[in-house]
Structure 1
């Protein structure tokens, strides 16, 4: 069980991670991740491409040769969106090439295998840009976007597209913004005489409520045994407390990890006390003793859990209690909720680049944005109609929609794609799971951070 949970923590941070994602790398260290001021994105910045793409194809009555786009992904839950895209562009079909997990090396190997077979893929999900840019595997999207009239008046968060740039080229775009929430069992709130917190609640509120709802004799605990508490939740708390400039414990310009700093380690130790002092967060050993009853929020045995789009629909179908969502609590400096950006890129070897770009452009149309809201993601596009749609979405009926709206703008974006060797840095998540839930010494992380910091700087400077 522990191995499975730790693996889940790693995949959730990398996957959908994207951690993703989103920062500046190589020579582009502007640190745009986590900025929240919106701007109008025109796509008209940057250099041109010698082989400029033709004007994107548009739907209409003209005839087109049928095109099948092969998309490499580790997630197979987007079929409805593929169907919506096909309805608009009936000559284009999305074919999913599903790989076993979020692993850039595995993706690169699949790309090479498909190229060798003469059936190259067209699009791919990814995490760390470096394995793709080194091999010239990704198409620069900037020239396509400069010609895309549909993006001219689309408003997006500041630095949204730039977060995927390296060396003046835009090798990927965030196609989904997945926020995380604190999940609340409202039946347990009532049982323990607790009120539903306001959206600006604090970490002290969170801790005291979790402790108040812990009754081992009843098999009930304040917090679900979930490695995300050790991973995503703790790093968001460190940002909110002002101890870490960016998520995943990255510094201001995303060149170094600060996970080994005394201030960050104090946040880790605070979280560990929920296990060792309060008893509100079951340890790995305790969760095993309880037979898994506290491993899943839907069991109704825990007050709080952490989750994103992957848990919302199952909760609506399976939970036998009233549940709701809250943003991550307010820290000493600000309130910061964890977001995952999911990058997608067009492969340079694609034989259908114009059609592949249409899929990328489609992500920012209202139809696609509403579909993502209906499935627990944020709308990336800043639009009054989309904000109002949150109240109409079947997924959010009867829920704390004000928290959903706030979460869109208060969160930090998990960096990753443009940071050299970022995928190698993802050991921090299972390590902290062992520290917080398993009893490992937090000070043991210091030499690991120092080694990775040295390697990522070497790679930035052209070393190996």
Structure 2
């Protein structure tokens, strides 16, 4: 028996050596390759260092599409034709399209057998939207994090001090009122305390609400907490008049132009506007104010391995290399990206920024309570799109009150959710 075991082990080693003695080609698909030179260069640098260890492995970069639908359809077409990439870029939307069709492998077995994978260094919330029925169909690689940007110049001009991260909703409203000013005497504000923001739904959590409740089985938008969240946000524009209306935004060239031209004192933005030097003024970052609880939003992109890959172990070996601390820092974080690993980010994110900004971002990443995409992927993405559209049109224009709109939408939203769960989940 011992001889048989040793012979089997020797055969396994010889087979492995035989595979790597010949050229092995892996393919890797991501929508960012043509959209960001820095992103692609980082991947290519990681491939080069991987090939130093595995010289007989080639990795080809593929792009089936640069936006959601073309990328998803391209991957599915290749998969059906038997030409699936070995490694596939994923986010919550794409994950929702891939894993139910069996396109992605469960990565738990690879992670469990890989002692170099620093599981305890990953922000726990980054797994939301990548784990279904206990199976990990992707590993996170890049983090997208949102905070409030406070225009320091407008705060100084208004004689208002910078708040702490523990500011409450009432304090935020008071700040917004003090910062809203009419500078030319025409009885209409020229400087606004707050932007009108209805596209990001994580603010529901600040009032204790959630898009989905009962372990994802029900739409939660008729709960009192959700209705209050929508009404409070809307009141900033309507009753308190500390945020511009849609017509005022349009006349000023849109929200982006208003923030860049120092017309809005407090606004919501992704941290990737920092290294791109989007704003010419000094600013301070702060978390969303506490209403009934803390709500801090982030989301992630990552990679999965195709179930049709002929070399899944080798594909994981590359992903493990890509996510190793040194490689991730040198090829990714140094290029002004933020990783899902605390230890890598601690080396210094956004090198061109200053210590206060970096410290605030690190604080926000550790304080994140909502993986916005991870929560929304519990149900069909068209539900979130439908609600955002109603918020930006019917509700914002005052055509219907919030509760009436949600009551009208609820049958459709719940039917969509029920169909989604019955199709995708083992225990709907």
TM category, shorter: 0.7 to 0.9
Query: Deviations for 1:341-396, whole angstroms, at most 9, x for unmatched residues?
Result: 3243222223443443234324532235546555666542243x743535xx4243
Tell me the C-alpha RMSD between the 2 structures.
3.3
Counterpart for residue 418 of structure 2: 457
Counterpart CA distance in 1 for 2:218 and 2:227 is: 16
Asked if 1:381 corresponds to 2:341, the answer is: yes
Counterpart for residue 124 of structure 1: 89
Aligned 8 A contact 1:181 1:308 in 2: yes
Deviates more, 1:255-264 or 1:192-201: 255-264
Asked if 1:328 corresponds to 2:292, the answer is: no
Deviates more, 1:134-143 or 1:212-221: 212-221
Deviation at 1:190, TM superposition (A): 0.8
Q: 1:96/1:389 Cα in 2 relative to 1: closer, same or farther (>3 Å)? A: same
Asked if 1:432 corresponds to 2:391, the answer is: yes
Q: 1:112/1:461 Cα in 2 relative to 1: closer, same or farther (>3 Å)? A: closer
Q: Which has the higher contact order (CA 8 A, sep 6+)?
A: 1
Counterpart for residue 220 of structure 1: 191
Counterpart for residue 231 of structure 1: 199
Counterpart for residue 266 of structure 1: 228
Counterpart CA distance in 1 for 2:376 and 2:234 is: 29
Counterpart CA distance in 1 for 2:234 and 2:41 is: 41
Deviation at 1:192, TM superposition (A): 0.8
Structure 1 alignment gaps of length 5 or more: 1-53
Counterpart CA distance in 1 for 2:260 and 2:203 is: 24
Equivalent residue runs for 1:234-245 within 5 Å: 235-242=201-208, 244=209
Counterpart CA distance in 2 for 1:331 and 1:347 is: 43
Aligned 8 A contact 1:176 1:341 in 2: yes
Q: 1:440/1:394 Cα in 2 relative to 1: closer, same or farther (>3 Å)? A: farther
Counterpart CA distance in 1 for 2:424 and 2:207 is: 35
DSSP 3-state at the match of 2:143:
strand
Equivalent residue runs for 1:105-116 within 5 Å: 106-115=70-79
Aligned 8 A contact 1:155 1:381 in 2: yes
Aligned 8 A contact 2:46 2:322 in 1: no
Deviation at 1:189, TM superposition (A): 1.0
Deviation at 1:303, TM superposition (A): 0.8
Structure 2 alignment gaps of length 5 or more: 1-11, 52-56, 185-189
Equivalent residue runs for 1:274-289 within 5 Å: 274-289=236-251
Deviation at 1:293, TM superposition (A): 7.0
Counterpart for residue 310 of structure 1: 272
Q: Which has the larger radius of gyration?
A: 2
Q: How many pairs does the alignment contain?
A: 389
DSSP 3-state at the match of 2:232:
helix
Deviation at 1:117, TM superposition (A): 6.0
Counterpart CA distance in 1 for 2:180 and 2:124 is: 42
DSSP 3-state at the match of 2:149:
strand
Q: Given the two structures, how large is their TM-score scaled by the length of structure 2? A: 0.79
Higher helix content, 1 or 2: 2
Counterpart CA distance in 1 for 2:386 and 2:165 is: 32
Q: 1:405/1:70 Cα in 2 relative to 1: closer, same or farther (>3 Å)? A: closer
DSSP 3-state at the match of 1:181:
strand
Q: 1:339/1:64 Cα in 2 relative to 1: closer, same or farther (>3 Å)? A: farther
Deviation at 1:295, TM superposition (A): 3.9
Query: Deviations for 1:245-294, whole angstroms, at most 9, x for unmatched residues?
Result: x4xx2225222221122331122111111111222211211111223376
Equivalent residue runs for 1:364-403 within 5 Å: 364-367=323-326, 369-370=328-329, 373=333, 378-383=338-343, 386-387=345-346, 389-390=348-349, 393-403=350-360
Deviates more, 1:273-282 or 1:166-175: 166-175
Counterpart CA distance in 2 for 1:160 and 1:305 is: 24
Asked if 1:86 corresponds to 2:47, the answer is: yes
Aligned 8 A contact 1:375 1:395 in 2: no
Asked if 1:345 corresponds to 2:316, the answer is: no
